[in-house]
A and B are shown apart, each in its own frame.
Chain A
């Protein structure tokens, strides 16, 4: 989009003295990348330090564990993405035994038709596309099947993460994940529940986003 303002700004910048400054070299990789166990441990301890609740569970046991977690919380509703593999597994598990569990709400419409339900929901379950061990953050890549607001609006966000998808660092995640060639609409790192320290630097959780973050790491 060309505009006179744009052209004038660029012209001024182009007319300034040129400086030749090379691209800095990327920092050398860590001496030895931490192994999977170390990555899981680091991620868990950093997430917990930020008040997230982390459960490392063997893959086949994640649904029973999730059900346990939900039963202790007595929630009314749980938003889920019906067209994901996690969504299909959830539906099957709920059909099997829904006792003491929140009602499943599929996020299957545009937000304009789902907003009221979403803002009133108690919790949501999403996939985590990966995680960054050294920063203690999970990576979310919302898409057409798993919308963006699931991980933001309900007071409880539960993320399901494969232990294999934990990268040592953010640099590793974006290089190995080929992000620069394939950025989704929105990619988010999350390191805990919403928080603020704007009043006398006193840390308080759940100011705008989820009050609780639960991460299930599947081994």
Chain B
């Protein structure tokens, strides 16, 4: 979690040439791949409108769909657990593991488990969580957190990864050959899939109609984690539920195309029940942990609610000029980039994470590519407003935390000057003569750092219009 300001972290990231090269290369690549798979602009627009409508519709019926999902899962033999906080969700996962007297878990990639800081929690209870997605495996070896939602180790180049493998994987030779690095990971993790009795995964979509969990991946580690061990625990944010199975084709197309520029992932894994009578493999127990962690609060506000449409494709990161230059770690929280900038302040509160809403030029590149059309810049502006809002309780936690006397007085003064014509005339006349001698101090100092000082005209526009009139053609 962040201990220093975003500005400091961003500054440091900007000074890291290797990091900047890694991100510039990878993000450029992602943008091209996405373009190739969404080459028909009109068709893409139709698809995005459909994806957005499906998610908005699902959110409009969220309590009903969650109840329906729970009933369908239960009917299918999947045990459903609810958690209001990450602490409770961690506890639920721990209890399931302990009920099987297990000491290890193999994990597929899951952002919600990152949000829960599950690995550290389990470790504090003597349980080893083994990340099996290649990128997650790399950063776990090095004690790091993901820097990207889809490619968690993208901040590392192969020389850095070669070194990590050589130092941290017993018996691994030093090699920068990507195929060999993959082979080392395969060998190491195959053993774990074979031995470990509990598998944990996230969920991309949960279908209320059938009680089906949909997971997408390319490596096969997700299928391993959800099929080989006797117990499968899936964790999901409560916004992942969709109405019907037929909602999946457009959503999958949007998710995969936006995330990696693929038509379809190597594996689309639809899990509807644990091993049934007579079947020879698959987990004997499947658990679904539904996490709230602030989502039901976000849901209270129809505008902020749209944050919950997100399918975690990461394309807003790839297209963000800020993210591309500083990478994921500088944001200081689990979800980086534009989606993190709108989600994190709402979950963690504006005092703690509100500065993220300001780390944007509002260029809107994210919004143009978002597969479910989340109005990201509108939400960033809303969070900025909330930070300075003088309204009483309610809204985003920490509302009004940036209010300060100087700024309030400045606006009061502005209001005064612009509602009293005489004062206005006096002030503009004064500024016209003496404006250039204004000391660049206080909040103006920050503003001026990257901008030239405004030049005040000797005569105000108001004055000139009065004196010269407006030429009438």
Contact = CB atoms under 8 A, between A and B. Distances in A.
A77 to B, nearest CB: 17
Interface string A169-194: 11100110001100111111111111
Nearest to B85: A5
B57 A24 contact: yes
A46 B153 CA distance: 28
B70 A1 contact: yes
B83 A136 contact: no
Contact of A21 (B56, B179, B238, B296): B56
A13 interface: yes
Nearest to A213: B266
Interface string A3-20: 101101110111111111
A135 B264 contact: yes
Given A1-B81, A201-B26, A204-B179, 14 more contacts: A13-B66, A23-B57, A132-B264, A147-B282, A148-B281, A152-B220, A183-B210, A185-B274, A185-B279, A199-B161, A199-B182, A202-B158, A208-B132, A209-B267
Interface of A: 1, 3, 5-6, 8-10, 12-24, 26-27, 46, 50, 107-111, 114-115, 119, 132, 134-137, 143-144, 147-149, 152-153, 169-171, 174-175, 179-180, 183-202, 204, 206-210
Contact of A188 (B29, B54, B268, B302): B268
A203 B185 CA distance: 15
A3 B272 CA distance: 23
A171 B273 CA distance: 22
Interface residues of B, number: 98
Contact of A12 (B53, B138, B300): B300
B63 A192 contact: no
Given A119-B194, A198-B134, A204-B182, A152 B153 contact: no
A53 B161 CA distance: 31
B157 A180 contact: no
B456 interface: no
Contact of B299 (A12, A22, A27, A149): A12
Interface in B25-57: 25-26, 29-30, 46, 50, 53-54, 56-57
B186 A206 contact: yes
B96 interface: no
B261 to A, nearest CB: 10
Nearest to B180: A204
Q: Which of A24, A27, A144, A174 has the most CB of B within 10 A?
A: A24
Given A5-B83, A107-B280, A195-B219, A10 B67 contact: yes
B35 to A, nearest CB: 15
A3 B62 CA distance: 18
A79 B48 CA distance: 43
Contacts of B220: 152, 194, 207-210
B246 interface: yes
A188 B270 contact: yes
Nearest to B210: A183
Contacts of A136: 263-264
Nearest to A118: B281
A139 to B, nearest CB: 9
